[in-house]
């Protein structure tokens, strides 16, 4: 099977956390390892409206820029800045590329939640034919940047203040039939006004929903990030809400302990080494959360008997018992 790293441009030095594409859009020869994929030079102004100012970040598929919305500026908006996401050169040249970005737009814009990134518009520049999305411009560290600064993990109150909005955003997505498909620390940002889950670029509608969306050839575009991919995804099974829950559980374990639950191993490698049997509760994590988190980390989806809402409940403060309430009086 042909396999290639989609891009080496992620600022995170750990290339194993890049989204990996299997059986990619084009049967391409593998690019030289560690070589950054060049980002197509975009025109300075897209659609005669968005002036690109600087690159904010790159991931497995896209490049995100800070841009100035000249129309808003013309009407005196004191804050005319937006983030502008386009696919990087490697993907932009594929016939499905614009549809891939449109799918991200269509899925994300179904969601209205304070902790899900807000998108403004999808557009295609008539001259260079590049599709792009404009979205709210965020400022703040992504969770992988936070983890770099806090290698011992976060204390409980801080962890809880991240876990609850993240799981609430995921619960909202699943309730609206949107599967994220690539939950990992670099796709969550702690913006000044609260957490945002973003990058639904590998998202999919739940079965039977959004049938009008352009059907992408998912057999040709099957992607995941190895360390956060549930076992069933590695085995070629379709994305489900449960796979998102596994990935979110890996992120939460990592935030509480400072390290991934199964070190640098994929679920398949960790299962072969029976690492689930030796998994222990991170000291920062209160005992009442552990049962739920461990369940969410189950390798076999049949045993992963918890959904995003259930995991969120596990991270809430337990209701004090009658005795505890009486004693507090
Ligand atoms: N709305 C935004 N505001 C500011 N920076 C952003 C925004 N969206 C993405 N970024 C930055 O760009 C990086 C890549 O964006 P992402 O949507 O994850 O692209 P990809 O699909 O390529 O992974 C992010 O990790 C983040 O650093
Ligand atoms: Mg990303």
Q: Is the pLDDT of residue 2 over 90?
A: no
**Residue labelled with tokens 């590695």:** 234
Count how many residues are written for the chain: 329
What span, in angstroms and rounded, lies between the C-alpha atoms of 307 and 298? 12
87 CA: nearest ligand 1 atom: 22
Ligand 1 neighbours by CB, cut-off 6 Å:
56-62, 64, 83, 85, 117, 135-138, 142, 186-187, 198-199, 201
Where would I find the H helices in 150-240?
A: 156-175, 231-234
The phi, psi pair for 54, rounded to 5°, reads -160, 160
- Contact present, 204 and 218 (Cβ < 8 Å): yes
What span, in angstroms and rounded, lies between the C-alpha atoms of 98 and 103? 9
Distances (CA, A) of 289 to 59, 112, 157, 311: 31, 28, 13, 8
Q: How many CA atoms lie within 13 A of 316 on its CB side?
A: 10
Strand, helix or coil at 311?
helix
Which residue, by CA, sits nearest to atom 17 of ligand 1?
199
- Contact present, 184 and 229 (Cβ < 8 Å): no
The per-residue pLDDT for range 294-308, each reduced to its tens digit, is 999 999 999 999 999
Nearest ligand, measured from the Cα of 100: 1
- Sheet containing strand 20-22, strands side by side: 3-5, 20-22, 222-224
How large is the average pLDDT for residues 90-105?
82
Q: Determine which helix (DSSP H) or strand (DSSP E) holds 223, and give its type and residue range.
A: strand 222-224
Tokens of 206: 């739940």
DSSP line for 123-150 = EE-TTT--EEEEEPPP-S-BHHHHHHH-
How large is the average pLDDT for residues 196-203?
94
Q: What domains, with CATH codes, occur in the chain?
A: 4-39+48-139 (3.30.200.20), 140-314 (1.10.510.10)
Handedness of CA 272, 273, 274, 279 (dihedral sign): negative
> CA dihedral in degrees (184, 188, 189, 195; nearest 10)?
-140
CA of 317 to the centre of ligand 1 (A): 32
* 2-6, 10-14, 99-103, 120-124 — most confident range: 120-124
What span, in angstroms and rounded, lies between the C-alpha atoms of 103 and 204? 8
Q: Is the pLDDT of residue 25 over 50?
A: no
What span, in angstroms and rounded, lies between the C-alpha atoms of 111 and 173? 7
More confidently predicted of 166 and 326: 166
Q: Are strands 204-205 and 178-179 parallel, antiparallel or unpaired?
A: antiparallel
Nearest ligand, measured from the Cα of 87: 1
Helix count (H) and strand count (E) of the chain?
Answer: 11, 13
pTM for the full model? 0.87
The per-residue pLDDT for range 210-261, each reduced to its tens digit, is 777 766 655 555 567 889 999 999 999 999 999 999 999 999 999 999 999 9
Tokens of 184: 């990992």
Q: What is the pLDDT of residue 167?
A: 98
Q: Which of the listed residues 53, 57, 122 should we mutate to test ligand 1's pocket, taking the one with most ligand atoms within 8 A of CB? A: 57
More confidently predicted of 57 and 321: 57
Share the mean pLDDT of the chain: 86
Q: What is the pLDDT of residue 35?
A: 41
The per-residue pLDDT for range 115-130, each reduced to its tens digit, is 999 999 999 999 888 9
How large is the average pLDDT for residues 257-274?
93
Q: Which residues pair with 20 in a beta bridge?
A: 5, 224
Which residue, by CA, sits nearest to atom 12 of ligand 1?
57
The DSSP call for residue 55 is E
Q: Is the pLDDT of residue 292 over 90?
A: yes
What span, in angstroms and rounded, lies between the C-alpha atoms of 266 and 275? 11
How large is the average pLDDT for residues 42-49?
95
Give the Cα-Cα-Cα angle 83, 55, 16 (nearest 5 degrees): 100
- Contact present, 152 and 255 (Cβ < 8 Å): no
CA of 142 to the centre of ligand 1 (A): 9
């Amino acid at each position: 099977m042909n396999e290639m790293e989609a891009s080496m441009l992620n600022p995170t030095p750990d290339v194993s956390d890049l989204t990996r594409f299997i059986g990619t859009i084009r049967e391409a020869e593998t690019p030289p390892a560690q070589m950054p994929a060049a980002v197509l030079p975009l025109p300075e102004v897209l659609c005669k409206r968005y002036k690109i100012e600087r690159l904010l970040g790159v991931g497995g598929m896209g490049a995100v820029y800070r841009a100035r919305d000249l129309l808003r500026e013309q009407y005196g908006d004191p804050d005319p800045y937006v983030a502008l996401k386009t696919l990087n050169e490697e993907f932009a040249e594929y016939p499905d590329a614009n549809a891939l970005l449109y799918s991200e737009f269509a899925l994300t814009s179904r969601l209205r939640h304070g902790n899900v990134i807000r998108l403004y518009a999808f557009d295609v520049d008539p001259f260079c034919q590049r599709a792009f999305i404009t979205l709210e411009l965020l400022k703040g560290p992504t969770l992988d940047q936070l983890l770099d600064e806090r290698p011992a993990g976060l204390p409980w109150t801080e962890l809880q203040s991240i876990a609850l909005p993240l799981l609430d955003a995921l619960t909202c997505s699943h309730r609206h039939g949107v599967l994220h498909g690539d939950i990992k620390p670099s796709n969550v940002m702690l913006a000044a006004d609260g957490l945002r889950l973003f990058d639904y670029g590998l998202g999919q509608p739940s079965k039977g929903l959004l049938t009008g969306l352009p059907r992408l050839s998912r057999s040709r575009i099957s992607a995941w990030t190895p360390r956060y991919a549930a076992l069933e995804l590695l085995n070629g099974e379709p994305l489900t809400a449960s796979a998102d829950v596994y990935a979110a559980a890996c992120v939460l374990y990592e935030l509480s302990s400072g390290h991934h639950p199964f070190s640098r191993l994929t679920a398949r490698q960790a299962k072969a080494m029976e690492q689930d049997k030796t998994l222990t509760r991170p000291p920062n994590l209160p005992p009442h959360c552990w049962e739920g988190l461990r369940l969410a980390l189950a390798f076999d989806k049949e045993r992963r008997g918890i959904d995003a809402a259930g995991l969120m409940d596990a991270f809430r403060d337990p209701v004090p018992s009658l005795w505890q309430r009486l004693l507090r009086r």
